[in-house]
Structure 1
Amino acid sequence: MDGKPDVVSEQPVPSPSASRLGWEEFSREIVEFFASIKLAMFLFIALAMTATIGTVIQQGERAETYVQEYGEEAYRWFLRLGFTDVYHTWWFTGLLGLLCVNSLTCFYKRFPGVWRSMRQDKVSVSRAFIQGLRNQTVLSVSESTEPVAERLVKLFGEKGYRVLAKSDPGEVTVYATKGIMGRVGAHVAHLSATVIVLGGLIGSYYGFQEFGVCLEGQTYHIPRGNFDLRVDKFWIDYHENGSVKSYNSTLTVIDQGTPTITKTITVNDPLVYKGIWFYQSSYGDAWDQIEVARLNIKEKANDKVVATVDLEWNKEKTIEGLPLKVKMTDFVADFAFNSTEKKVFSKTAEHSNPAIRLAVDERNTVQSTPWVFYHYPDLFEIKDSAYQFEFIGYQPKKFTGLQIARNPGINMVWVGCTMLVVGMTLSSLIYHRRLWAKVVPDEMGVRVYVGGTTHKSQIDFDKEFRKLTEKIQAKPLS
């Protein structure tokens, strides 16, 4: 309206290339973060601290164990933080997951360059490239180009190098390389950590580990494998001085009613069936059964011992010379009574207050099932009986402690361990070394430009490089 042209402000249009560049920078920063050595060190320290917690604080114990040792308030915090089962907490799994990501990112970032260098032989190089290497020298040899080049090929080959030669107008270039697998070793070791961690996580979440207390002659059902396990025999071998030499269990697997496999297991020699491992873990005195109990039988009238008998477990015995039949039917190692359920039970596995239960038949008129105590012989007496029973000794029945476990990730862990050993061996014992030599004619014969690099062990390579250059200058035998 005023005669001036309208000015239209132009909004800047975002450039697709600028947007793409921003995303590339962001992704590069992400890769740098997850591949950083700082993250790896943080994760290793955090895992070490976590493992220390899992070692100091017993894992998977009953609540009363933690309350007794650390107090009730500390136990509540342990539950909140997962300290009673550290290795199955979400944050421990997260640390392992981050370690896997760190290891894989390092592999992704660094290995392609190594792989390209393995696949590509850099033969055609300039003199300036050779003279820019850490180990380099220029030699004058009074011979023609071809004999010197042939001597270089032979000399490098004798030292274990793989040699390539290229002839260009006016010069010959010789390239030699060896120990390329030494560059791979560190990356194999990186990858092995991921394989081991993944195998451990698979075993942790899809496997199990339990402890079974088993008695000789008993058969137990293994629900996770849907078969039965029979303990045929358990025994302990001793040294001459009386110390325990070994403890052993003979086990038989019964699958669908048919004995399938029998094996005697010892420590570090388990039985394996359907992927379930049965380890000989421990042994001890059973808390609910004994082999033999010894009794004194007294007359109540004069407190005189009229008989001393040994009772076998759950076998009735007729007492010679007395109108008595006695059988031992029950045993508890630490006697306790549940007044609500009216039941006797052993409150601990320790033999702190042992007691046996007898089935007494006296003249077919007095029948009783009294509990007789080892530490309190006169605590109870049988009404209308002429006799008092005194529990004076017993032979405990040994149990075999079996660790029962399935670990579906164990093969992956072994593969990872093998990769770790192979990777560390390659990285420690094999060094990637490369040599270049360019033979150029001059007025006095030829000028040889020699240079080389090594991935590790620089001192040894310096010695090898010096000896090679000395041999290049040496006159060949006619």
Structure 2
Amino acid sequence: MARAETARGRVQPVRNHELLLWLWRLLSSAQLAVALIGFLALAGLLAVVLPQIPVPLRDSPAAVGAWLEVQRGKFGPFTEPMHWVGLFTVVATWWFLAALGLLAVSICVYTADRFLAVWRNVTRPRELVPDSFFERAANRVAFVTPRAAAGEDASARLQALLRRRRFRVRTLAEAETTYLFADRFAWAQMGSFVTHLALVLFLAGGLVTRLGGYTNALFIAEGTASPVFPVSHPEQMQVEVVDAVGVFGESGAALDYRSELVIYQGGREVARGVATVNGPLSYGGYRFHQAGYFGEGAALRVRDVGTGNALYRETLALEELVPAPAITVRGDAGALLVDDVIVPTDFIGEASGTLITVPGSGRQFWVGVTQDEEEVWNLVVYEREDAEAGFLVPAGESHTAGGLTWTFAQATGLPSIVTSGIPGDGDRAVVVLSETPEGTPYLTVLGPVDGRALTLYPDQPVQIGDREYLFEGRREFAGIEVRRDPGANFIWVAAGLLLIGLLITFYIPRLRLWARVRPQGTVVAGLAERSGVFQSEVERLMEELGVTTVEGKQGAEGDA
């Protein structure tokens, strides 16, 4: 008795095969797949709604900390917990990637679990059904067999019509009754598996790209090169921009960007070609796309006159604009004395300008621009010998004083940059690019030499002490995106399979018909994978047979 109680109270262990069976059923559940898709959709929505840490900053704790400080003003004390959970890096979190992986496994198990049954249904479909099926089928039509085509003749005629409509037909005769089974596009039932395979390949492509992909944005000036990888790398390459071209329409809209590139690896040229936005240059599994264009750059070189060594050589991206007045000055007789954009060298409060000498008069004026409270640009003019006689000229207007007529056309923005490192007496310098009335570019450098302005023309060196300053010319910049995407082929194949699977599913539906032909009447019943297919097909058959419906039933169509 005690032995029986002990056996009754003993906990039965879970067998391994039962646990595996439970896990298989869980993973093959459509409910699990729907729940995972919903979870990933919600996570994607969070990634759109909440700010995400920029990818280039994620490897730098200091940069991430500074970014979080900015967000603290919006999320307050919740900032750190949100960052710890991963709400600022949703698509890179372990839980998002785990959900993606689990979804891929679920789709694979779901597909495998149903594959054998569907394959059996496609390759060995049920050809013979009981007579009760012809009475209870959701889709059935009954009609009187024509006397001229009674018995075998009627079944033979029906077989011929079905085969002509691309059905595979099997027959079975029992006394005066002939049973027919007709199946068309049986293979179309595999279309859902093609779609499932496409989904798996999409996920696999994303995973492969994440694990083995690489993306880097380079900003390279003409005539210079930049490394592909920011640190030492066994596949390190150098990208040189030989020529960067930007084509713009009359309205200023960009029409085309392209760059001639040269790829170096191991000190030798390995590839050369033209990169565009949609036509990258490819080498070694990497693609070099034209991602941007910037046309305002200047190449500046400073060398030691005594040794000939270069002290400074940079191509500067002039990304800022400094306001400068476009003016004309005429004398008493209307003679044109000045027609130019005045490059500012002095910045006094809200005004920027410089001292110029009006040709033919010998008089010097400080000429600049400033904005009033209504954001209207005004020309500012002071004569050096009589500062009290200054005046303002609004944009688009003229003013006559002292025998000179000043016309202020507009304030234009000149490409400029505030930079450091140019050899000289100052730590910082302002570099401004402009053009002469004839269209010759020239560079104005403020700061490195006793605060004075250096005006440099292309290939015309200016020596100051033991240093020589040379403007080597205007340069353009190309934004080059380097990308290695090993999952791209998976994505392309997946897109093709998804399209094929959807086309098969929606436009090539499977249709199975069972017919019972007797001298007194014929019944046709069927299973169709899309509503209306059975009805339209049977109507065509009856029209060609020349019969009318005695009894018909059109129900919900679907696979049994």
Does TM, normalized by the shorter one, top 0.5? yes
Is 1:464 matched with 2:470?
no
SS in 2 for 1:263: strand
Match of 2:554 in 1: none
Alignment CA distance shift 1:265-1:73 (3 Å): farther
Q: Provide Cα deviations, 1:96-126, integer angstroms capped at 9, x if missing partner.
A: 0121122123212323221111111322332
Distance in 1, matches of 2:429 and 2:266, equals: 42
**Alpha-carbon distance, 1:47 to partner:** 1.7
Q: How does 1:240-389 map to 2 (within 5 A)?
A: 240-284=250-294, 290-291=297-298, 313-314=300-301, 354-355=418-419, 371-373=428-430, 382=450, 388-389=452-453
Is 1:121 matched with 2:138?
no
SS in 2 for 1:236: strand
Match of 2:198 in 1: 192
Is 1:448 matched with 2:458?
no
SS in 2 for 1:314: strand
Match of 2:212 in 1: 206
Contact map agreement 2:218 2:479 (CA 8 A) in 1: yes
Distance in 2, matches of 1:12 and 1:465, equals: 68
**Alpha-carbon distance, 1:81 to partner:** 2.8
Contact map agreement 2:319 2:417 (CA 8 A) in 1: yes
Match of 1:426 in 2: 504
Contact map agreement 1:123 1:173 (CA 8 A) in 2: no
Please, which runs of 5 or more residues in structure 2 have no aligned partner?
58-62, 321-414, 433-443, 458-470, 549-560
TM-score of the pair, normalised by structure 1:
0.72
Alignment CA distance shift 1:451-1:232 (3 Å): same
Q: Provide Cα deviations, 1:332-351, integer angstroms capped at 9, x if missing partner.
A: 9799xxxxxxxxxxxxxxx9
Distance in 2, matches of 1:53 and 1:113, equals: 39
Distance in 2, matches of 1:436 and 1:314, equals: 89
Number of residue pairs aligned between Structure 1 and Structure 2: 404
Distance in 2, matches of 1:213 and 1:381, equals: 30
Q: Provide Cα deviations, 1:427-451, integer angstroms capped at 9, x if missing partner.
A: 11111111111223xxxx3432321
**Alpha-carbon distance, 1:77 to partner:** 4.2
- Which of 75, 80, 84 is the matching residue for 1:80? 84
Alignment CA distance shift 1:358-1:153 (3 Å): closer
SS in 2 for 1:249: strand
Contact map agreement 1:88 1:204 (CA 8 A) in 2: no
Distance in 2, matches of 1:352 and 1:81, equals: 44
**Alpha-carbon distance, 1:404 to partner:** 1.3
Distance in 2, matches of 1:450 and 1:409, equals: 50
Contact map agreement 2:245 2:257 (CA 8 A) in 1: yes
Contact map agreement 1:139 1:473 (CA 8 A) in 2: no
Contact map agreement 2:431 2:446 (CA 8 A) in 1: no
Is 1:90 matched with 2:94?
yes
TM-score of the pair, normalised by structure 2:
0.62
Distance in 2, matches of 1:466 and 1:276, equals: 58
**Alpha-carbon distance, 1:208 to partner:** 1.7
**Alpha-carbon distance, 1:207 to partner:** 1.7
- Which of 62, 68, 71 is the matching residue for 2:70? 68
Contact map agreement 1:232 1:251 (CA 8 A) in 2: yes
Q: How does 1:101-250 map to 2 (within 5 A)?
A: 101-141=105-145, 142=147, 143-222=149-228, 223=233, 225-250=235-260
Distance in 1, matches of 2:517 and 2:13, equals: 51
Contact map agreement 2:91 2:97 (CA 8 A) in 1: yes
Distance in 1, matches of 2:87 and 2:456, equals: 45
SS in 2 for 1:245: strand
Distance in 2, matches of 1:378 and 1:273, equals: 43
Alignment CA distance shift 1:446-1:23 (3 Å): farther
Alignment CA distance shift 1:50-1:84 (3 Å): same
Contact map agreement 1:332 1:354 (CA 8 A) in 2: no
Q: Provide Cα deviations, 1:141-196, integer angstroms capped at 9, x if missing partner.
A: 22442211110111111222111223344432211011223321122212211111
Contact map agreement 2:416 2:430 (CA 8 A) in 1: no
Contact map agreement 1:332 1:355 (CA 8 A) in 2: no
What CA RMSD, in Å, does the superposition of the two structures yield over aligned residues? 3.9
State the one-letter code of the partner of 1:205.
L
Alignment CA distance shift 1:53-1:182 (3 Å): same
Distance in 2, matches of 1:133 and 1:224, equals: 69
SS in 1 for 2:55: coil
Alignment CA distance shift 1:66-1:400 (3 Å): farther
Contact map agreement 1:372 1:391 (CA 8 A) in 2: no
Is the strand fraction higher in 1 or 2?
2
State the one-letter code of the partner of 2:515.
A
- Which of 479, 484, 490 is the matching residue for 1:401? 479
Distance in 2, matches of 1:10 and 1:241, equals: 95
